[in-house]
Amino acid sequence: MDLLKQIENELVEIKNFPKFGAGDTITVSYKIKEGAKERVQQYQGVVLQRRGSGVTETFTVRKMSGSVGVERIFPIASPFVDQIVVNKKGAVRRARIFYFRGLTGKAARIKEKRRFTN
């Protein structure tokens, strides 16, 4: 098993993204190939969960597109994920906030975690 993880670590480039978790509002910049062209698209939403570890880690982001909720799963080690920016830190008590899918209106807001600086 150690041999498999060693080969994975050699082959996959691990990027240095900021720390984020469930409840945080983030913007993911990812590359899209359209024919011969390549462009970067922004996807902003709330992180529902982080899953896995190391090279196989993924995170799920949910955003509202009009009145329809859209979720997307991003692999951390994907070469298409260009940049991740944490916009807001959310104050939630769970690691996986699937209950967020059923909330609408004002109930679908997440409190912001306060940061104290001296």
DSSP string, 49-113: EEES-GGG-EEEEEEEETTEEEEEEEETT-TTEEEEEEEE-B--S-S--GGGGG--GGGG--PBP
Instruction: Please state the pTM of the whole predicted model.
Output: 0.85
Is a pLDDT exceeding 80 seen at residue 118?
A: no
- Give the total residue count for the chain: 118
For the stretch 53-92, pLDDT in tens is 888 899 999 999 888 999 999 999 888 999 999 999 999 9
CATH architecture of 25-96: Roll (2.30)
pLDDT on residue 10: 79
For the stretch 16-55, pLDDT in tens is 899 999 999 999 999 999 999 999 999 999 999 999 988 8
Locate the domains of the chain by residue range.
Answer: 25-96
Q: How far apart are CA 57 and CA 55, in angstroms?
A: 6
